[in-house]
Structure 1
Amino acid sequence: MTADFTGWHVLAEFGGVDAALCDDLEQLESALRDSLTAAGVTICDVVHKKFDPQGVTVLALLSESHASIHTYPESGDIFVDVFTCGSIGAGASKAVELLRDRLSPKDVRMQVIRRGHGSQRIEEPVGAGLTRIWDLHEVIVDTNTPFQHMVIARTEQGISLFSDDDRQSTEFSQVTYHEAMMVPAFALAETVDKVLIIGSGEGVASQMSVAAGASLVDHVDIDQLEVELCAEHLPYGYTSDELTAAVKGEGPIKVHYADGWDFLAQAAEAGTRYDVIVIDLPDERVEDAQHNRLYESEFLSRCRALLAPGGVLSAQAGCATMWRNETLKRSWNRFHEQFDTVVQYGSDEHEWTFLFGMNERIDDPVQRMTDRLDKLPYRPETVDARALERGAIEPYSLRV
């Protein structure tokens, strides 16, 4: 291999497949052929073997490399292996996704591996024409969930979580990130008893809320697989046992695998009110993206309607750097349209800015936060009164 990046290798396990389909050579070969063709790869030849008493292997020789499936009818399992190189590299993932749709497994596990020199890295976009390179010492998870491409890997910043090539959190800096999002809200809210968190799949925000005195934390995340893999592999946030208990509703944290939009409608119908609501999602895109609707004014308005008296809405609002601040400007304008009190916290040790909104008018929200900080049940590690004062000064671009 001479290229920095040679191709994609996708390994998948399909579970819960119909036993008869697992033993149907004709249907399986047709499904593989159709999926590869639709993904844009070139089939050179296909060979197959039906085993006695059961089981099928189908192997396709591709111009781009190879694809195979092997079945176990007795357990309803199908193992898939697809590698495509060159300019059609991403076709491997597409082919496996199409094959998944064709075979309708109940369970899917996928691992997407980059092959080639320099392949163990992630190029994170941080602005127009700018990328940040993450060297991955060990890839722990590399899969496509129904909603995103997810990677958990060991980096120089410890075990780290990536979504669609964007760093979400790292073992090294996650406390700084989560405290920047949660501590100002704890200090600003009239009380911290009922908390709603939308996104934030690691579970750290939920745990901080309980430590701050919350008796109920509704944690809503649409991506069940991502939350489960975070609990299994990240050394921070939920453990797998803690997540299982939260899904069952055992304890103050209740995990709901649901669309945040739908959950808000259900909470409004039930008359539920929250002291703190947190929106912690993958970054809003300048271009159109499905999750952008959870940043927009209508969603903020629906969150605002669920705030208890003295309640606070907290949201990750974007980055203050002038080459990446378009989404922060949008968030700033939306919050000021929705809330009578808006205060920001720009972390001085992380690149993100967080916005906090209240329905009530507070003359000096920063003084309110600094006065209350030392009285919080939660003891922050990375936020003090001076940090709150400094972090509340908005960037120049928001003041002109």
Structure 2
Amino acid sequence: MPPTPAPPAPLPAGRHVLAELTGVDAALLDDVDALRTALHDALVAAGAQVRQLVAEAFVPHGATVVALLAESHASVHTWPEHGSAHVDVFTCGTTADPERAVRLLAAALGATGTHLEVVTRGGPPAVVTEPISAGLTRRWALGAVHHRATTPYQRVLIADTAHGVTLFCDDERQSAEATQLVYHEALFVPAALLAARCERVLVIGSSEGVVSGLAVAAGATRVDHVDIDPDTVRACAEHLPYGYTPGELAAAERHEGPVHVHYADGREFVERSGAEYGDYDVIVVDLPDERPDEPGAQLNRLYAVDFLARCAQRLTDGGVVVSQSGSPALWRDATLRAAWSRFQEVFGADGVVYAGCDEHEWAFLCGTRPAPPDPVAHMQARLQALPVRPTSLDALTLRTRTVAPITLRKGIFPAAP
């Protein structure tokens, strides 16, 4: 018999971190010796083996430092006149952490801003393993990766999947090309229909910008969009085929037009901006699921009763707060049950309207005071006058989707299977 062929050698694989550092002292960016030391020390501390360092100073200003590594290479290119440096660190294997090297270098240079992208090069086909609930995960096979970065708040990935271009944050799918409209219409349209008016809208989270567009299409003349993570919002505008375009986002950042983007903590914006921005007809809170197993998670503060109550205080008469509230599936509905309890505490049992979605993992809650006597009839009547016709819901779905699961309506909480 012919000999069994040897298995193919594993494909070379590595991570390439591309970064832009801003707010760096100009004199430091012209100091070749200091740059050499900072790059060397950052690489070594991150586990890399530095074999050679080459540096060149330019006239009238600027410098380049290149490190040859046992794992691959790293470089720094500086623009002192702009207070910025462009950095790349590419390492193969697992002994060195290129992202940590960039973070350490940024700290050594005193950078006030760090924007980085992480590109996976080579290796087997990439996957994302998404946590669903205790003991359950979902694996997403990735095609082309359009953007990969770690911001000060989360790990962000935008890549092709079977659902089209897909956004992941901390390995959790946030939106996908195939289903994003179903999600965003289920989030926003019922709230817009419940509200007495839809002229002033506040959006907290929702990095993609789809809700801002829906609000303007529904008649809003002012949309304040608050997000704590500018890197993610800008990446979404650049790489997602839905939501803001780069030009639309740039205009919104300049506060030109009906949409004004604010990069701020959502809780602080709600608490401090009343005198400047006034109250809202609709407040949309669109965040990843709360994380009870991470008590210090920043987003948990925006799921608290006191934050919901503060949002209620910022409503105009007949205004509505709507929040992403988790999944109605029995085996993962703890987030939804907790949200239901909070909404009833703030708005009363008659002031909470459930808004489901065709995708089982999404459910939303609307809170309003006072609530219409028949919320569903109220929404159905207003649907005809809505300036934009929703794609994924009509009068009948408004009735079927607003029937909350019996676990919420009857307070029946079976043990998870």
Report if TM-score (shorter chain) is over 0.5: yes
1:233 is aligned to 2:239: yes
Alignment of 1:86-165 (within 5 A): 86=94, 91-105=97-111, 108-115=114-121, 117-165=123-171
Q: 1:119 to 1:34 in 2, by over 3 A?
A: farther
Q: 1:49 to 1:6 in 2, by over 3 A?
A: closer
Q: How many Å apart are 1:26 and its aligned residue? A: 3.8
> Who is 1:11 aligned against?
18
In structure 2, distance between residues paired with 1:34 and 1:219: 40
Q: Secondary structure at the match of 2:160?
A: strand
> Who is 1:174 aligned against?
180
| Identical-residue share of aligned pairs (%) | 44
In structure 1, distance between residues paired with 2:307 and 2:329: 26
> Who is 2:373 aligned against?
363
Residue type matched to 2:207 in 1? G
Residue type matched to 1:79 in 2? V
2:193–2:383 contact (8 Å) kept in structure 1: yes
Residue type matched to 1:312 in 2? V
Q: Secondary structure at the match of 1:318?
A: coil
| CA RMSD in angstroms, aligned pairs only | 2.6
Q: What is the TM-score normalised by the length of structure 1?
A: 0.89
Deviation per CA, 1:280-300, whole angstroms, max 9, x where unpaired? 112212322111111111110
Runs of 5+ consecutive residues of structure 1 not aligned to the other structure? none
Alignment of 1:273-284 (within 5 A): 273-284=279-290
1:385 is aligned to 2:392: no
In structure 1, distance between residues paired with 2:357 and 2:333: 14
In structure 2, distance between residues paired with 1:243 and 1:114: 28
Alignment of 1:1-400 (within 5 A): 8-14=15-21, 17-36=24-43, 38-39=45-46, 41=47, 43-51=48-56, 53=58, 55-59=63-67, 61=69, 65-72=71-78, 76-83=84-91, 85-86=93-94, 91-105=97-111, 108-115=114-121, 117-270=123-276, 272-288=278-294, 289-340=297-348, 341-349=351-359, 351-398=361-408, 399=410, 400=412
In structure 1, distance between residues paired with 2:345 and 2:44: 50
In structure 1, distance between residues paired with 2:92 and 2:298: 28
Residue type matched to 1:264 in 2? V
Q: What is the number of residues matched between the two proteins?
A: 394
In structure 1, distance between residues paired with 2:223 and 2:30: 47
Runs of 5+ consecutive residues of structure 2 not aligned to the other structure? 1-7, 413-417
* More displaced 10-residue stretch of structure 1: 329-338 or 5-14: 5-14
2:327–2:360 contact (8 Å) kept in structure 1: no
In structure 2, distance between residues paired with 1:136 and 1:188: 39
Q: How many Å apart are 1:177 and its aligned residue? A: 0.5
In structure 2, distance between residues paired with 1:38 and 1:74: 26
Deviation per CA, 1:118-170, whole angstroms, max 9, x where unpaired? 34222211112222222222111111222221122222222222211111111
In structure 1, distance between residues paired with 2:157 and 2:381: 40
1:366–1:388 contact (8 Å) kept in structure 2: yes
* More displaced 10-residue stretch of structure 1: 233-242 or 2-11: 2-11
Q: Secondary structure at the match of 1:389?
A: helix
Q: 1:285 to 1:60 in 2, by over 3 A?
A: farther
